[in-house]
A and B are shown apart, each in its own frame.
Chain A
Amino acid sequence: MHRSSVFGMIPLLLLLAAGSASAHAFLDHAEPRVGNKVATAPREVTLWFTQKLEPAFSGMTVTDPSGQRVDTGKTRVSGNQMSVSLRAGGNGTYHVTWHVLSVDTHTTDGNFTFQVGQ
């Protein structure tokens, strides 16, 4: 292989990076489950990710059907798991918004809803 073609590859690779690199730890599953219906308002929301998380840069907020925050604001992170306790809320659609930094230094964010009530 000609040497200049080897060096020529490097800018190409850097260009590739611009289009793609963004996020890493994906939401594996959650409790209450994403989009599911539960009978009574849960005491806490727990999220499991595909990779281990950094507590300093990870967190989530939960709002009740009226748009009021019902999470206590203290997110607990342990390994690839993140949870937050909830205050009591009414029936309807709850919104969970999360952002995490995985241990391999990549940030991801996302949101989902779950339903409370019959």
Chain B
Amino acid sequence: MDWFGSGISVALVAVRAIHFAASALTTGTLIFRAVVVKPALRSEPTTAKLLRTQTLGIEWTGLAITVASGVIWLLLEAASMSGLPIGEAMTSSVVSTVSSQTQFGQVSEIRLVLAIILAACLAYHRLPLADWLALPAALGLTAAIAWTGHAGSTPGETGALHLCADALHLIGAAAWIGGLVPLIFLLAAVRRYHAIAWAALARDAAMRFSALGVASVTTLLATGIVNAWILVGSFRALAVTEYGRLLMLKLVVFAVMLVLAAVNRFWLTPRLVVASGDERRLEALRQLTRNSVIEVALGFSIFAIVGLLGTLHPAIHMVEG
């Protein structure tokens, strides 16, 4: 086994996983703000301001990790593509060739521009234009990942379909897994302030988030089926290839997340109503927070699986006929 080569591949899997998670966090938080926080807090400017500071913090953190991991990813790819040791790949013209002449490099450059636009939008978030532009910039930043992976290299018309499905899949994952993080912060704030008005806010936010969750899950299932049809192709390939088995592991984790989401929506969220009493409400809030934290942990393990899947041969190329 080529230990140096595998060192690069382990680093690549790790940096991809971190990059996907950070991109999802950034974009998911902006989606959460647009579909959950803003409508829920239209009539409460003070609370809105407080939560704005919180979501801005998450957005900046996510964006910083996205950019840092994106740069490391590019350098690791430059080493991997050229076959040079990472030190040499960084000092030579390899990085500039990768950036300007490969699809991965060009997409990375476009994504860097989107990240800069997003940073400017966050810095000037008080301007209405900047506040409006942040979401499309973040959506582009995440959707463009599709062009760096398997979907970007599928030839012909199937390639266009694969790209569309993958871009939507990425947005769906960001909305759900990334959006859970600001939801957890919101629930934590509710527990801290411990007031009736905040409990109503928690319930409203949780309801809106589950509507977003249903849309995300539907998108993830539909686009996931398209991706699997292109990359796996048959149930046999799903069962006998490493790619297929790993994809099944991902589906199992996804199913556990769905169960948790259903418990949150149909069992815990209804108990957040003011009439149910302080003690029961706090208990429901505590469980809702805990389940959401577990969901995020599971979501991040899915990003680790995806980080690895992208480096494997798609199952469809590994089985005959």
Give per-residue flags for A1-32: 1 if the beta carbon is below 8 A from chain B beta carbons, else 0: 10100110110011011111111111000000
- With A6-B298, A56-B102: A103-B152 Cβ-Cβ less than 8 Å: yes
Q: Which residues of chain A come closer than 8 Å to B246, judged between CB atoms?
A: 13, 16
B136 at interface, CB cutoff 8 A: no
Q: Which A residue's beta carbon lies closest to that of B316?
A: A50
A54 at interface, CB cutoff 8 A: yes
Q: Which residues of chain A come closer than 8 Å to B154, judged between CB atoms?
A: 51-52
Contact of A6 among B81, B102, B301, B317 (CB under 8 A): B301
Q: Which residues of chain B come closer than 8 Å to A22, judged between CB atoms?
A: 5, 9
Bound form: Cα–Cα A14–B12 in Å: 10
Are the CB atoms of B102 and A104 closer together than 8 Å?
no
Are the CB atoms of A9 and B83 closer together than 8 Å?
no
- What is the interface size of chain A, counting residues whose CB is below 8 A from a CB of the partner? 35
Q: Which residues of chain B come closer than 8 Å to A79, judged between CB atoms?
A: 155
Q: Which residues of chain B come closer than 8 Å to A50, judged between CB atoms?
A: 317
Contact of A104 among B17, B82, B153, B298 (CB under 8 A): B153
Q: Which residues of chain A come closer than 8 Å to B46, judged between CB atoms?
A: none
Are the CB atoms of B103 and A103 closer together than 8 Å?
yes
Are the CB atoms of B80 and A13 closer together than 8 Å?
no
Contact of B312 among A7, A21, A26, A105 (CB under 8 A): A21
User: Which residues of A from 54 to 77 have beta carbons under 8 Å from B?
Assistant: 54-57
Q: Which residues of chain A come closer than 8 Å to B97, judged between CB atoms?
A: 56
**How many whole Å from B280's CB to the nearest CB in chain A?**
25
Bound form: Cα–Cα A43–B319 in Å: 33
Contact of A54 among B17, B102, B150 (CB under 8 A): B102
Give per-residue flags for B62-82: 1 if the beta carbon is below 8 A from chain A beta carbons, else 0: 000000000000000100111
Stretch at the interface among B124-132, B200-208, B302-310: B302-310
Are the CB atoms of A103 and B317 closer together than 8 Å?
no
Interface of B is mostly: helix
Are the CB atoms of A9 and B104 closer together than 8 Å?
no
Bound form: Cα–Cα A86–B50 in Å: 70
Are the CB atoms of B101 and A101 closer together than 8 Å?
no
B189 at interface, CB cutoff 8 A: no
Are the CB atoms of A51 and B155 closer together than 8 Å?
yes
A-B residue pair count with CB separations less than 8 angstroms: 111
Are the CB atoms of B9 and A17 closer together than 8 Å?
yes
Are the CB atoms of A107 and B152 closer together than 8 Å?
no
**How many whole Å from B127's CB to the nearest CB in chain A?**
38
B14 at interface, CB cutoff 8 A: yes
Are the CB atoms of A56 and B101 closer together than 8 Å?
yes
**How many whole Å from B104's CB to the nearest CB in chain A?**
5
- With A20-B312, A80-B155, A106-B311: A1-B294 Cβ-Cβ less than 8 Å: yes
- With A23-B313, A51-B155, A102-B153: A7-B297 Cβ-Cβ less than 8 Å: yes
User: Which residues of B from 35 to 64 have beta carbons under 8 Å from A?
Assistant: none
Are the CB atoms of B13 and A13 closer together than 8 Å?
yes
B1 at interface, CB cutoff 8 A: yes
B148 at interface, CB cutoff 8 A: yes
- With A10-B304, A57-B102: A20-B242 Cβ-Cβ less than 8 Å: yes
**How many whole Å from A80's CB to the nearest CB in chain B?**
5
**How many whole Å from A6's CB to the nearest CB in chain B?**
5
Bound form: Cα–Cα A56–B104 in Å: 12
**How many whole Å from B248's CB to the nearest CB in chain A?**
14
Q: Which residues of chain A come closer than 8 Å to B294, judged between CB atoms?
A: 1, 3, 6
User: Which residues of B from 97 to 144 have beta carbons under 8 Å from A?
Assistant: 97-98, 101-104
Are the CB atoms of A57 and B311 closer together than 8 Å?
no
B6 at interface, CB cutoff 8 A: yes
Q: Which residues of chain A come closer than 8 Å to B12, judged between CB atoms?
A: 17, 21
Give 12 A-B contacts (CB < 8 Å), ordered by A residue.
A1-B256, A7-B301, A10-B17, A13-B305, A18-B6, A19-B6, A22-B5, A25-B153, A50-B317, A51-B155, A52-B154, A57-B81
Given A6-B297, A56-B97, 7 new contacts (CB under 8 A): A13-B304, A20-B312, A21-B312, A22-B9, A52-B159, A105-B80, A105-B148
